Amino acid sequence: VSSHQPINSTEKACMLRPLEAPFRYLFGPGPSNVPPRILAAGGRPIIGHMHSEMFGIMNDIKKGIQYAFQTSNNMTLAMSGSGHTAMECAVFNIVEPGESVLVAINGIWGERVAEIAERMGAKVHTLFKTPGGHFTNAEIEQALAKHKPVLFFLAHGESSSGLVHPVDGVGDICHKYNCLLLVDSVASLGAAPLLMDQQNIDILYTGSQKALNAPPGTAPISFSERACHKMFNRKTKPVSYLLDMTHLSNYWGNDGKPERKILTCLLKGLENSWSHHTEVAEYLWKGLEDLGLKLFIKDKDLRLPSVTTIAIPEGYDWKELLAYIMKHHQIEFTGGLGPSVGMVLRIGLMGYNCNKANAAMALAALEDALKQCRKSKA
């Protein structure tokens, strides 16, 4: 007789209980609400990862990513995981222990890349600005000349502060110093203009749960030929087996060897998506200013269209404002992230959520909270 006794009672009961997920308006920096078409796709039958139909789906996804990124790079694929997965994939495959890496830090995403590079043994150098700050090309070139890195990281959409960073000319400067340019576009792709090939970006990645309007868990990434040359001529193996591009490139049919729908929000075209996000963002910005609120990023051209940051209004407890809005309006806004905590409130209107009706709903909820939440006497 076995001495092993199964656990039952409450543990078993919770597994039998139907899953319930409340509907909420996800107007934070992501994830965003997804269209019914995408939700329905999740109910389709499972097929094998080596089935011919799966390879066909993967080929379509690759073409969709190439369009969204505006690249002809063959080494284009979707990672299984969050944006952090693509972030680690880029650093782990490009950088070898002891090599120099330069990271632009003006929010949380630069901080994360610096730690990832440090953990795998790179010599990490940083350019630093407080949240909301951006780097000039002259500042970047000076640091490249000084540190001679193999990789330079820049966040295009710094969602912790609501800043969209200029990219023009940065790739050319990096190549002048034999350095690869890595760009994070998780919060910006599809909402703000970004052209991988034209702007000479070597590695670009994004996430599925922002303006691309899919559930979280997929991270598109693309590598230029220059990046591939560095990646596939390493002296050491990447520190991660799971994220090793020698394996992933074969599975995606990108290595030239025998064989082996997350982008539907862009069906109307990238230019239309960019202009639509900007139009709705400008409507939101005006409404916020009409409420007497101050936008955190003062320069309109540097504001991230998908994630708007508001300076926390004087006298209010930002956590109380967010809790009131969630309880009474079922709307999610968020506070800051990393270095911007306690500095900003964040409203995200991207992809399926990006329309003036939702912006008006967000403004009405915020106006109500400002009236109902108690201001401190300090």
CA distance 172 to 179: 10
Task: List strand residue ranges (DSSP E) for 189-272, in order.
Answer: 203-205, 218-223
Residue with tokens 């990281």: 153
Tell me the backbone φ, ψ of residue 71, rounded to 5 degrees. -140, 155
CA distance 95 to 164: 26
Cis amide bond preceding 31, omega within 30: yes
| 33 token code pair | 């609400």
| Residue 226 assigned ligand-binding role | no
Contact 124, 117 (CB under 8 A): yes
Q: Where are the alpha helices (DSSP H) in the chain?
A: 10-16, 36-41, 52-69, 83-94, 108-119, 137-147, 170-176, 225-231, 245-251, 270-290, 318-329, 356-372
What residues have CB less than 8 Å from 30, skipping those under 6 apart?
Answer: 159, 186, 187, 207, 209, 210, 216, 307, 348, 350
| 330 token code pair | 């079922």
Contact 224, 73 (CB under 8 A): yes
Residues flagged as binding site: 346
- Residue stretches of the annotated binding site for substrate: 346
